[in-house]
Amino acid sequence: MAVSKKVIIIGDGAAGIMAANKLRFHSTDKELEITVVGNNPRHFYKPDGVLIPFGYKNYRKSVKPVNFLLNYGVNYLKDEVLRINADENIIFLKSGKSLIGDYIIIATGDRYSPEEIPGYEGEARHFFDLQRAMELREYIKTFQGGQVFIGSAGEVIQYPESLYEFAFVLESYLAENSLKDKTTIVLATPSKELSPDPSVHRDLSGMLESRGIQYHPGVVIKSVDPKNKEVAGSDGTMYKYSLLILVPPHRGQQFAIDSGIADEKGYVVVDPKDLSVKGNKTIFAIGDANNLSLGKSAVAAHGQASFVASLIISKTVGGLKEEKMTAKVPEFALTGNDSAFSFYDAPGRASRGINVNKGDFMLRWTSADTYFSTMLRGMI
């Protein structure tokens, strides 16, 4: 009688949940024993962070308990990883236990490190987690005008579209509340392009200009001066603000550094062809946890989770593996005024620019429902 293979997934965020559910969807418990290690009580759909501060989305629809999101037959171990022996597939846990996996998937995402930016704490706001999005909502309720600066203190961030999304939604909100003439919006992005698609970048740049939003590409914020209400940009410019929306720097996890499998920022170094770690074809790192700089989003995590799951399934259960990682679902970006546009973040697709419409806004507004019910469940 064949012994089931053990798959251990470190991390209970989007990438980890998708990988676990995709594996379970294509195997039985007699074929694969799947265990997720993590300690998050709830999972937040980050794209809704752009809508919550303006009262456009009820936060209760944007969070679900992690154990609810894991399909039946996936074991959930609440613990924390301290170190991995990547040569022998051993995982050492904070509880003192250790695990050995036939396959290991590292899906621990990344973390925010605002302490790296002088003056950040207590002054800057952001919307990348539920608590911060709710706090920002209280600030926006009392905002009466001034200069809003929107930017990033890191070169690579999760969900990069959120910066221009927030600028567009803010402009629309200000117009609705007779505050647009009293406010200046300044947007600085770490990338020199708003999209890798030249047509999309061109269209978005034109929209920012037409909406009166000042745009500064290729700028990373290095420090915050709360006394003078200004931030220092990598371009040498000091930007004033009344309200500061600043994405904190992102870093990988400390255990990855301690395990000798990460770069200096904590991101697990992978082979870009198959996402394997240190030449070990049974250990993988997916989503925001790895050192691939492009496409840190739920859609990218979905593509990587599906790809690695297919590799493991083909080796253990049998079946065709996916030959390459692809984005399989469209993304939707908000442009304010109850409008949005859709795009595919995948190479090789024809460039068509953007088509702003109400229908894509409704799909974006309800995207958490699809995300929680099908994407995370491994059904697509």
User: pLDDT per residue over 276-335, tens digit each?
Assistant: 999 999 999 999 999 997 557 888 899 999 999 999 999 999 977 787 777 666 789 999
The answer to whether residue 331 sits within a structural domain is: no
User: What confidence score (pLDDT) does residue 368 get?
Assistant: 93
Query: Final residue of a domain: which of 286, 316, 346?
Result: 316
Q: Both 190 and 95 in a single domain?
A: no
Residues 245 and 123 in one domain: yes
Pair 266, 240 in one domain = no
pLDDT of residue 16: 98
pTM of the model: 0.95
Domain termination site, one of 249, 279, 304: 249
The mean per-residue pLDDT over the stretch 22-31 comes to: 95
Q: What is the pLDDT of residue 3?
A: 80
Determine the pLDDT at residue 15: 96
Which residue type sits at 243? L
Residue 272 included in any domain: yes
pLDDT digits (tens, 9 = 90+) for 106-133: 999 999 999 999 999 999 999 999 999 9
The pLDDT of residue 189: 97
Q: What does the pLDDT read at residue 346?
A: 57
Per-residue pLDDT tens over the stretch 218-240: 999 999 999 999 999 999 999 99
Give CA–CA dist 230/352, Å, rounded: 38
pLDDT category at 357 given cuts 50, 70, 90 is very high
20 assigned to some structural domain:
yes
- The verdict on 133 and 70 lying in the same domain is no
pLDDT confidence of residue 353: 77
Query: What string of H, E and C letters represents the secondary structure of the chain?
Result: CCCCEEEEEECCCHHHHHHHHHHHHCCCCCCEEEEEEECCCEEECHHHHHCHHHCCCCHHHHEEEHHHHCCCCEEEEECCEEEEECCCCEEEECCCCEEECCEEEECCCCEECHHHCCCCCCCCECCCCHHHHHHHHHHHHCCCCEEEEEEECCCCCCCCCHHHHHHHHHHHHHHHCCCHHHEEEEEEECCCCCCCCHHHHHHHHHHHHHCCCEEEECCCEEEEECCCCEEEECCCCEEECCEEEEECCEECCHHHHHCCCECCCCCECECCCCCEECCEEEEEECHHHECCCCCCCHHHHHHHHHHHHHHHHHHHCCCCCCCCCCCCCCEEEEEECCEEEEECCCCCCCCCCCCCEHHHHHHHHCHHHHHHHHHCCCCC
pLDDT of residue 329: 67
> What total number of domains does the chain contain?
2
Higher pLDDT, 348 or 313: 313
Per-residue model confidence (pLDDT) at position 2: 65
Say whether both 130 and 233 belong to one domain. Answer: yes
> Could you tell me if 230 and 119 lie in one domain?
yes
Q: What is the mean pLDDT of the chain?
A: 93
d(Cα 20, Cα 376) in Å, to the nearest integer?
Answer: 9
| Of the candidate ranges 30-34, 178-182, 237-241, 374-378, the one whose mean pLDDT is the lowest | 374-378
Asked whether residue 330 is domain-assigned, the answer is: no
Burial 247-278 (b: 16+ CB within 10 A, else e): bbbbbbbebbbebebbeebbbbbbeeeebbbe
| The predicted structure's pLDDT at residue 349 | 56
Q: Which of 144-148, 299-303, 351-355 has the lowest mean pLDDT?
A: 351-355
Q: Check residue 296 and give its pLDDT.
A: 79
Residue 367 lies in a domain: no
Instruction: Pick 160 or 165 by higher pLDDT.
Output: 165
CA distances 108 to 90, 301, 322, Å, are 16, 11, 23
Q: Decide if 326 is inside a domain.
A: no
Residue 376 lies in a domain: no
Of the two residues 180 and 1, the one the predictor is more confident about is 180
Q: Which domain holds residue 275?
A: 5-47+63-110+252-316
pLDDT for res 87? 96
Same domain, 236 and 132: yes
Instruction: Using the 3D structure, point to which of 203, 226, 249 is the last residue of a domain.
Output: 249
Q: How far apart are CA 248 and CA 152, in angstroms?
A: 6
Does 167 share its domain with 222?
Answer: yes
Determine what percent of the chain is predicted with pLDDT higher than 90.
85
Q: Is 1 exposed, middle or buried (0-12, 13-18, 19+ CB in 10 A)?
A: exposed
CATH of the domain at 262: 3.50.50.60
Same domain, 123 and 216: yes
136 belongs to a structural domain:
yes
119 and 242 assigned to the same domain:
yes
**Please, which pLDDT band fits residue 260 given cuts at 50, 70 and 90?**
very high
Q: Are residue 128 and residue 188 in the same domain, yes or no? A: yes
pLDDT exceeds cutoff 90 at 246: yes
Give 348 or 140, the one with higher predicted confidence.
Answer: 140
Q: What is the pLDDT, as a whole number, of residue 76?
A: 98
pLDDT over 60 (residue 348): no
Same domain (yes/no): 230, 274: no
Of 153-157, 186-190, 215-219, the poorest mean pLDDT is in: 153-157
Q: Is the pLDDT of residue 138 over 80?
A: yes
